Structure 1
Amino acid sequence: MYNKSIVNGWLILLVILLTGCNRPTSKPNNIMINWSKLPDLPGMADTASLGVSAPFAGISNGKLVVAGGCNFPDKPVTEGGVKKYYSDIFTLDLSDKNAQWEKAGNLPLPVAYGASVTTPEGVVCIGGNNSTDFFTDVHLLSTSNNDGSVHICRLASLPVPMDNLSATYADHTVYVAGGNENKRPGNSFFAMKLVKNLDEDWEKLPDILGPARVQPVLAAQKSADGIRIYLAGGFQPLSGNTDAIIPSDMLSFHSGTKEWITETELPLFDNGARRTFTGGCAVAYKDSSILFMGGVNYDRFLAAVNRPKLIEKAEADGDTALAGTLQEEGKSYMFHPVEWYKFNTALLQYNTFTKEWTNLGEYEQLARAGAGAILKGDSLIIVNGELKPGIRTPHVNLAIIE
């Protein structure tokens, strides 16, 4: 017969282990992250320096390149402001600590909500939309060492217009996934070889698993069985009688077998609440990790996107009190202080070999949605983004990971 105290001890240990499941470990003692600021992004066109959301961003020849994006230049959206899209291209020489942003040209059209990725050839800018059009356009932006201008080279167009998608690069190949296709949430996954003649078409790969993922994050990294493409975050919007879905897992795609798998569940918060990287960023770090950051709060965002259906149901059930409460919540949603939205402040590291999550710390500089994130060596650069719905920041923050 088992000793009762030993059995109880094992039960307590099991509870502790289960409670700790799917939560990131604490920050390693040898990791230091030091924040500083790069110059604020200049005003776009004739506007003040309000900052933008959803721009293209990357590195070319040691210069930070930021192009396009959108904001509300005249007055906030809560006061009836109209969103404006931009074509401006700016560069910042990262080798010069005294450098300032320089205007380096314009995109063919104003655009935001596309995807961008740094490659050895330059910054590939993919898809997106503005107030009237949705784009299949793909351009390569490369900086000149002579006059500071940016050269724009048109690449093969996407098979369909795509916006609010994500992109990554590995082994001479650009991958895109998630977002909207022809203005509808889709599951397509495409790849394009980036070769010297720059005339390769996009290849359709197996669709991503499960629901559509609008505004996901995508990153490529080595793993125990070769290079994989990792997809997390994103959401499937409310549609008819179907609730909005915010996936809480991370998928991975093997570039050799051409198969998707469910890689892992995203780590929970300490209080057990779910997490999402929707509207956030992901970058490959060294040769075995991915850094995830930013994006919206799972519970706040899910409540917002599902609210119209809840109101409709309450009205159908004759529950006027609940319908009224939900309607008031909807009216006040854009008016809360920044802290209420609980945008993600954690810098999370995922090891693609051990499949472990580590929290590298909580930082206000990461609490952005629609920001650009670029990793150059051990320097993590966060470009603009939203502090809350409708409110941008012009700040460009720099974190040195030591």
Structure 2
Amino acid sequence: MNNIHYITCVVLGLTLWSACRPAGTDKKEETEMIQWNHLPDLPGMEGTASLGVSAPFTGIIGNRLIVAGGCNFPDKPVAEGGTKRYYAEIWALDLSADSAQWTNAGVLPRAVAYGASIGTPYGIVCAGGNDSESSFTDVFLLSANDTSEACTIRPLPSLPVAMDNFAATYMDEKIYVAGGNANGTPSHAFYCLDLSERTDSGRWEKLPDFPGAARVQPVLVGQRCGNEEYRLYLAGGFQPGTTETPPRIPDEVLTFSPRTGTWETETALPPLSDGNPRTLTGGCAVAYGDSAILFFGGVNYTRFFEAVDRPRQMAQARAANDTRRLDTLQSEAADYLRHPVDWYRFNDEVLHYDVHSRTWSNRGAYEAVARAGAGALFHNRRLIVVNGEIKPGIRTPRVSVGMF
């Protein structure tokens, strides 16, 4: 892995209005507000303090919220030289109980984070991910166990390549995965698995690569659309730069039609209220009803671009023997992890996209969604946001619930 890509991965791992209106996020024009409360904080993993994790597997099994794996810095913050630790514990919270507490629900086959988890009628499909040494091809189904509180783990067909920091969704008996790193390289890849038989003997189907930039840490969600049965919506993510080329952070929302087997550019993410670009890198997306998608969370475009482009800028300053510029960049790099939470400006707005009218609206700005690497799901008209980073390297144990 070259130095530029390595530094980019460290930074990332730590970290429309309708067509007849100007694009933006004018909070005075909010539609239905979301009311927030909180479930019990996630306990500490493996006897550590309750710090929260980033990039866990999350989902619903029956009435239980499941959180499995993830990573954090349990000993000391990364800004002080802390080491990232990966976990294998599975935790469950009974959402039907009035005063439920988290209980242990088993152990994953390995410690893992930065994979993808997908809710299905059969349980939670968990795919890929990585630890401090390698990325994985593992795919398995977490489901209820009739004889104990522990989840049942059933193997499914392995991914064609080792994948991490990718996105996945489920529609009509099929699992789709897109983007991320494939065998360590930022990817345009797109695969599908028929889940109807739920055995480990099936095979992943290679579908057409998505166009444009590669997308590490994108979001992918399926939704019904017009005369077609459904379409898949891919947004966010970024393509790391090199010493010669800057990173790319696309704002296009792409759609894939399973009926035609083709990709199209659907729309663009609206800019922020200050006019700067928006990204969903490290963010979340969930289907809402039968005609909309909610997009939220993730890093701030400007702050993130500056961080992941800094190695290229430093290489250019060295090549030009520009010591003053190099000193400034090195100072910025040294300070990057030490700013207060507000400085990073993680995305706190919930955007509502109507797939039929192709229009955007703003559901408001909330501290609860200003996270990167969080788990998210929509269940019984409740938006559940699990842990994630509130700034690079610092997680939150909070589990927030938005009521619609």
TM-score (norm 1): 0.93
Identify the residue that residue 22 of structure 2 maps to in structure 1. 21
Identify the residue that residue 208 of structure 1 maps to in structure 2. 210
What is the CA–CA distance in structure 1 between the aligned matches of 2:52 and 2:175, rounded to whole Å? 27
**Residue 182 (str. 1) matches residue 200 (str. 2):** no
Residues 44-72 of structure 1: CA deviation (Å, up to 9, x unaligned): 11211110000000111121111000000
* Unaligned 5+ runs, structure 1: 1-16
Residues 26-58 of structure 1: CA deviation (Å, up to 9, x unaligned): 677762311111011111112111100000001
What is the CA–CA distance in structure 2 between the aligned matches of 1:29 and 1:312, rounded to whole Å? 44
Q: Name the amino acid aligned to 1:383.
A: V
**Residue 367 (str. 1) matches residue 394 (str. 2):** no
- Work out which of the residue numbers 259, 262, 268 in structure 2 matches 1:259: 262
Shift of 1:372: 0.1
CA contact (8 A) 1:172 1:193 kept: yes
SS at match of 1:369: coil
Shift of 1:143: 2.1
What is the CA–CA distance in structure 2 between the aligned matches of 1:234 and 1:93, rounded to whole Å? 33
* Range that drifts further, 279-288 or 95-104: 95-104
SS at match of 1:45: helix
Identify the residue that residue 51 of structure 1 maps to in structure 2. 52
* Range that drifts further, 294-303 or 310-319: 310-319
**Highest Rg: 1 or 2?**
1
**Residue 170 (str. 1) matches residue 174 (str. 2):** no
Residues 348-377 of structure 1: CA deviation (Å, up to 9, x unaligned): 110001111111000001110000001002
Identify the residue that residue 8 of structure 1 maps to in structure 2. none
What is the CA–CA distance in structure 1 between the aligned matches of 2:144 and 2:386, rounded to whole Å? 18
Please report the RMSD computed on the Cα atoms of aligned residues, expressed in angstroms.
1.6
Q: Name the amino acid aligned to 2:361.
A: T
Determine which structure has greater relative contact order: mean sequence separation of CA pairs < 8 Å that are 6+ residues apart, divided by chain length: 2
Identify the residue that residue 320 of structure 2 maps to in structure 1. 317
TM-score (norm 2): 0.92
Q: 1:252–1:51: structure 2 CA closer, same or farther, 3 Å change rule?
A: same
Residue identity over aligned pairs, in percent, reads 54
What is the CA–CA distance in structure 2 between the aligned matches of 1:258 and 1:214, rounded to whole Å? 22
What is the CA–CA distance in structure 2 between the aligned matches of 1:18 and 1:149, rounded to whole Å? 49
Identify the residue that residue 288 of structure 1 maps to in structure 2. 291
**Residue 247 (str. 1) matches residue 250 (str. 2):** yes
* Range that drifts further, 40-49 or 142-151: 142-151
* Unaligned 5+ runs, structure 2: 1-17
What is the CA–CA distance in structure 2 between the aligned matches of 1:169 and 1:243, rounded to whole Å? 33
CA contact (8 A) 2:31 2:364 kept: no
What is the CA–CA distance in structure 2 between the aligned matches of 1:91 and 1:160, rounded to whole Å? 30
Identify the residue that residue 14 of structure 2 maps to in structure 1. none
Query: For this pair of structures, how many residues does the alignment match?
Result: 385
Q: Name the amino acid aligned to 2:204.
A: W
Q: 1:358–1:26: structure 2 CA closer, same or farther, 3 Å change rule?
A: farther
Shift of 1:193: 0.9
Identify the residue that residue 3 of structure 2 maps to in structure 1. none
Q: 1:30–1:325: structure 2 CA closer, same or farther, 3 Å change rule?
A: closer
Alignment of 1:2-401 (within 5 A): 20-23=21-24, 31-144=32-145, 146-198=147-199, 199-226=201-228, 227-401=230-404
Q: 1:234–1:30: structure 2 CA closer, same or farther, 3 Å change rule?
A: closer
